[in-house]
Amino acid sequence: MPCECCHKEIESKSKSESDEDQLVISGNAEHPANLICELCRNFYENGWVTGTGGGISIRDRERELLYLAPSGVQKERIIPKNIFVMDFKNKAYIRKPENLKPSACTPLFIAAYGIRNAGACIHTHSQSAVLCTLLFDKVFEISSIEQIKAIPKVTEPGNLWYSDKLVIPIIENTEKEEQLESTLREAIEKYPGTTAVLVRRHGIYVWGETVWKAKVYNEAIDYLLELAIKMRQLGIPTVKQLE
């Protein structure tokens, strides 16, 4: 995520509303391009994407399109015209905003779309995520907290139960975000029940069947990461010994 944010680029506007613009300009608040802007503001307010960090993409299953937030821009200031659009089948960009670069997260998002048939992917630099990767070794683990019931089982329908153990794999960070792709793919394969992967000293990737499920999973997991840090600070194990 080298920050090459340049406000002028965000400002750049096509003179006429081209065909490409029609892909992202919509009066419907539920349009992926509008949702990306709205959710980026929400994430910014939560401190998850400050300083151009993080990213999000949404898949339009019907039209077989992928909508992606651009690289290195202030997430809370993204407007629909900044959004990249990709053909889901051949992974070719069919809309590239002038002067903006595609997100380095793209290959990682594509991994989750491909392996897990996800409908949306979120990447944040949440401090709770970063800190948990410093407190846990190979996996983050927590059990017997009600909020766990918001997380899906993935390998079968339905969500985890209260006393189930949530396990999220942690992969090592690399110098460039793209280099994470192979270990991320391995982690997704190795942990068929996970809907997220933590990246050491970096952040978290979360995906879901729909954009709203991805958002809810991300919120619920961040709640659990934050709670786990507080539990550690108070000397309480995050995995409860069942009697």
CA distance 52 to 40: 10
- To the query of whether residue 64 is one of the catalytic residues in this protein, the response is no
Closest by CA position to 185, among listed 84, 77, 113: 113
Q: Least CB distance from residue 229 to its own copies, whole Å?
A: 8
Task: Please check whether residue 112 is in contact with residue 188, taking contact to mean a CB–CB distance below 8 angstroms.
Answer: yes
31 is in an annotated binding site: no
Q: Is 212 in the site for its own copies (CB under 8 A)?
A: yes
Q: Which is nearer to its own copies, 48 or 95 (CB)?
A: 48
Q: Which is nearer to its own copies, 5 or 94 (CB)?
A: 5
The b-or-e profile of 55-80 (16+ CB within 10 A means b, else e) is bbbbbbeeeebbbbbbbbbbbeebbb
Q: Least CB distance from residue 207 to its own copies, whole Å?
A: 15
Among 234, 241, 242, 243, binds its own copies (CB under 8 A): 234
CA distance 220 to 176: 28
Count of residues interacting with its own copies (CB under 8 A): 62
CA distance 243 to 64: 49
SS3 206: strand
Based on the number of CB atoms within 10 Å of its own CB, is 117 exposed (0-12), middle (13-18) or buried (19 or more)?
Answer: exposed
Task: Please check whether residue 167 is in contact with residue 140, taking contact to mean a CB–CB distance below 8 angstroms.
Answer: yes
CA distance 196 to 179: 18
Catalytic residue among 146, 156, 175, 243: 146
Tokens linked to 7: 């406000």
Of residues 13-52, those binding its own copies (CB under 8 A): 30, 47, 50-52
Among 95, 121, 171, 219, binds its own copies (CB under 8 A): 219
7 is in an annotated binding site: no
Among 13, 163, 182, 192, binds its own copies (CB under 8 A): 163
105 is in an annotated binding site: yes
The residue ranges that bind its own copies (CB under 8 A) are: 1-7, 11, 30, 47, 50-53, 74, 125, 127, 130-131, 134-135, 144-147, 149-152, 158-159, 161-163, 173-175, 199, 201-203, 210-213, 215-217, 219-220, 222-223, 226-227, 229-234, 236, 240
Which residue numbers are catalytic? 146
